[in-house]
Amino acid sequence: MTQQAAVSDHTATSGVLAASGLSKRFGDRTAVDDVSFAVSAGETYGLLGPNGAGKTTTIRLVCGLLRADAGHVVVGGATVSPASTAGRGLIGYVPQDVALYPDLTARENLAFFGRLYRLRGKALRARIDEVLDLIGLADRAKDKVESFSGGMRRRLNIGAALLHRPTLLVLDEPTVGVDPQSRHAIMESVHRFGAGGMAVLYTTHDMAEAERLCHRVGIIDHGRLIAEGTRRELVDRLGERDRITLAATGDLAAFAALCRDLPGVEGADVTGTEVHLLGHGGRRLLPAALAAAERAGAVVRSAEVTEPDLEAVFLHLTGTALRD
């Protein structure tokens, strides 16, 4: 099965967002070329790619801010397009650029955006209280946004997109330029959104964020989705092996010899007071390696598993660092 076929199969069975065959041209340039992917309820899907790869255009197509030249987007069973308010009404979009009124308070900003979502009266006031608590700004509700730090503004920006309880939340690099405390708060919030059943489409230039938050990742380059899967699936596609370092005492030669016979271990060597193993599924291999140490009469003092990461996968597939 080809990568595109696998993506299409997932698109057909997923529950919240289904983007199928999206294409968009600007003059002679193809910005998005036959892109298909899906996001399920409770899933955070990371869309990664170098600058100019087509991420932003893809997001705008998903949110109905651009009309696709080909393909379609369905959210919660409703078709999304610039002409469809039903489909777009199910989406909460958080752009990279903060869209707030600095001379209004946090509560006043949320009230303004809530009215755009046709919320009124007690229902709006109650929802504003819920959102302020959710984003950790209840104690700053009466303060003007112009007094907020960059991280607080980004959290309020996310809050504005949550007012109407969207089925799909789209976050375009929400932690760019924020302080560590706000970054942590934003990431914790995104984790809670997924745990609460919301589908989240997330773009970032930070691989650690993608590794921590995203259940699956799609890598886009030159307008095409070139790979998709869980972190483990993408790492396995790269073909690199995990490294296990075991600091130990005792008969290390016998320990290494026993490890070489373990299923999944491709190599075992002794360096000083350490035994180094190579293989796939390092965390799965570790218990068997510890049992081998006991049989050899060796005592393991510490163990470390080093796995290939998304950065390595990204470099392999695109030939460039994500931040380039």
Average pLDDT over residues 47-73: 93
What integer pLDDT is reported at residue 226 of this predicted model?
A: 94
What integer pLDDT is reported at residue 5 of this predicted model?
A: 38
Is the pLDDT reported for residue 67 higher than 50? yes
Compute the half-sphere exposure of residue 271: CA atoms within 13 Å on the CB side of its CA. Answer: 7
Rounded Cα distance between 110 and 165, Å, is 13
Is-contact 89 77, C-beta < 8 A?
no
To the question of pTM greater than 0.85 for the whole model, the response is no
Q: Which residue is associated with the tokens 């109650």? A: 126
Average pLDDT over residues 83-106: 92
What integer pLDDT is reported at residue 205 of this predicted model?
A: 79
What integer pLDDT is reported at residue 225 of this predicted model?
A: 96
Q: Which residue is associated with the tokens 């990204």? A: 314
Q: What percent of the chain has pLDDT over 90?
A: 67
Homologous superfamily (CATH) of 241-307 is: MTH889-like domain (3.30.70.1340)
Note the pLDDT tens digit of each residue in 281-295.
Answer: 888 999 999 999 999
Average pLDDT over residues 1-19: 54
pLDDT class for 131, splitting at 50, 70, 90?
A: very high
Mean predicted lDDT score pLDDT of the chain: 89
Residue boundaries of the structural domains of the chain? 3-90+166-236, 241-307
Is the pLDDT reported for residue 186 higher than 80? yes
CATH fold, domain 3-90+166-236, is Rossmann fold (3.40.50)
pLDDT class for 214, splitting at 50, 70, 90?
A: very high
pLDDT class for 142, splitting at 50, 70, 90?
A: very high
Closest by alpha carbon to 298, among 260, 247, 245? Answer: 247
Average pLDDT over residues 266-276: 94
Is the pLDDT reported for residue 35 higher than 80? yes
Helix ranges, 14-138 (H)? 55-62, 85-88, 106-116, 121-134
Is the pLDDT reported for residue 319 higher than 80? no
